[in-house]
């Protein structure tokens, strides 16, 4: 079993999230109406931070499961464990969320196999039920239970790989990199760098993101910019910080690395 499950998280202080549109209001309505949500957006654009923020705002525990192609229905629902004193049933993360009225966040849901994903179906329509075949239980979701999945467009697996009957069970919300000034604010807040440095890092990112047309398959995320800002804050020279945190993680193609270095030199003269 390869189950990466974080403990139930009830965060005490508000996770900082700067909205870019109506996502807080839309998510709030989905929660109020028992609608499952799909968060779409590139890596490092703030999907996890958004759901942490919403769980905090809605006062629900958050249970996160990282999906992968080995994830089985039992990994989500639970299994019998054999112990010296007999067998005991252990709830999986989905079952725990259903019982406790938590928000269950399935990260990278398209990575999971279809036979794993179908266990979500009865939970994401009017039934809100989870049948546990192995124990014969039929669980009704506790108030507050909500299923949220994330999806990263542009990866190998696509939305079309999900069955329409799965896809059409979710309200989809598109998140993307923030507008310029918002991204600057996030970098200042998250790393503690000065405004001018955060501003320059976002300028660099915007230039690098344009390289996508010239063959850069992955563009720098807000996460990488924060990493560069943290290195700089810790005393690393800004160009070095950008190389290690922004350029090197994105490519090892000599031509592209060179083009990115040139943009660093042009940004930090």
Ligand X SMILES: Nc1ncnc2c1ncn2[C@@H]1O[C@H](COP(=O)(O)OP(=O)(O)OP(=O)(O)O)[C@@H](O)[C@H]1O
The least distance separating Mg ion from the CB of residue 48, rounded to whole angstroms, comes to: 3
Task: Using CB positions, name the residue nearest to ligand X.
Answer: 46
Site mask, ligand X, residues 4-23, x = CB under 6 A? ------------xxx-----
Q: Does 178 sit near ligand X (CB under 6 A)? A: yes
Q: Which CB atom, from 46 or from 78, has the smaller least distance to Mg ion? A: 46
Q: Does 40 sit near ligand X (CB under 6 A)? A: no
Tokens found for residue 107? 């990260």
Task: Using CB positions, name the residue nearest to Mg ion.
Answer: 48
Q: Does 190 sit near ligand X (CB under 6 A)? A: yes
Q: How far apart are CA 103 and CA 147, in angstroms?
A: 6
What residues are paired with 11 via a beta bridge? none
Q: Does 220 sit near ligand X (CB under 6 A)? A: no
Contact region with ligand X (CB under 6 A), list: 30-38, 47-55, 81-89, 96-104: 47-55
Contact region with ligand X (CB under 6 A), list: 39-47, 75-83, 199-207, 239-247: 39-47
φ, ψ (nearest 5 deg) of residue 210? -75, -20
Q: Does 155 sit near ligand X (CB under 6 A)? A: no
On whether the CB atoms of residues 92 and 74 are closer than 8 A, the answer is yes
Q: Which CB atom, from 42 or from 78, has the smaller least distance to Mg ion? A: 42
Q: Which CB atom, from 116 or from 222, has the smaller least distance to ligand X? A: 222
The least distance separating Mg ion from the CB of residue 54, rounded to whole angstroms, comes to: 13
Q: How far apart are CA 229 and CA 238, in angstroms?
A: 8
60 binds, among ligand X, Mg ion, none (CB under 5 to 8 A by kind): none
Residues in 81-140 at the binding interface with Mg ion, rule: CB under 5 A:
none
Q: Buried b vs exposed e over 129-162: b needs ≥16 C-beta within 10 Å?
A: ebebeeeeeebebeebbbbbbbbbeeeeeeeeeb
Tell me which of 31, 40, 47, 169 binds ligand X, using CB under 6 A.
47
Q: How far apart are CA 78 and CA 104, in angstroms?
A: 15
Q: Which residues, other chains included, contact 179 with Cβ-Cβ below 8 Å and sequence gap of 6+? A: 20
The least distance separating ligand X from the CB of residue 129, rounded to whole angstroms, comes to: 29
Tell me which of 34, 48, 57, 74 binds Mg ion, using CB under 5 A.
48
On whether the CB atoms of residues 10 and 142 are closer than 8 A, the answer is no
Q: Does 43 sit near Mg ion (CB under 5 A)? A: no
| Total Cβ atoms within 10 A of residue 10 | 12
Spacing of C-alpha 175 from chain mean position: 10
On whether the CB atoms of residues 264 and 247 are closer than 8 A, the answer is yes
Q: How many CA atoms lie within 13 A of 240 on its CB side?
A: 7
* Residues engaged in binding Mg ion (CB under 5 A): 48
* Residues engaged in binding ligand X (CB under 6 A): 16-18, 41, 43-49, 152, 178, 186, 190, 222-223, 226
């Amino acid at each position: 079993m390869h189950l990466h499950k974080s403990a139930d998280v009830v965060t005490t202080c508000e996770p900082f999230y700067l909205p870019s549109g109506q996502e807080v209001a839309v998510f709030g309505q989905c929660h109020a109406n028992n609608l499952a949500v799909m968060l779409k957006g590139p890596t490092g654009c703030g999907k996890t931070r958004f759901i942490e923020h919403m769980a905090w705002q809605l006062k629900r525990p958050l249970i996160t499961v990282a999906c992968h192609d080995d994830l089985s229905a039992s990994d989500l629902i639970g299994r019998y464990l054999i112990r010296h004193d007999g067998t005991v049933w252990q709830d999986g993360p989905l079952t725990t969320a259903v019982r406790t009225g938590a928000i269950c966040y399935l990260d990278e849901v398209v990575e999971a196999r279809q036979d794993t994903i179908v266990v979500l179906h009865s939970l994401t329509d009017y039934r809100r039920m989870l049948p546990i075949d192995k124990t014969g239980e039929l669980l009704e979701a506790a108030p507050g239970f909500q299923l949220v999945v994330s999806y990263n467009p542009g990866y190998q697996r696509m939305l079309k790989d999900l069955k329409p009957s799965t896809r059409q069970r979710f309200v989809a919300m598109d998140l993307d990199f923030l507008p310029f000034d918002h991204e600057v604010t996030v970098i200042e807040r998250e790393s503690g760098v000065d405004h001018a440095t955060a501003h320059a890092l976002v300028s660099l990112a915007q230039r690098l993101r344009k390289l996508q047309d010239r063959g850069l398959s992955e563009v720098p995320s807000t996460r990488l910019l924060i990493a560069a800002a943290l290195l700089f804050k810790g005393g690393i020279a800004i160009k070095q910080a950008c190389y290690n945190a922004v350029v090197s993680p994105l490519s090892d193609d000599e031509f592209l690395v060179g083009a990115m270095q040139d943009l660093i030199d042009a940004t930090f003269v």
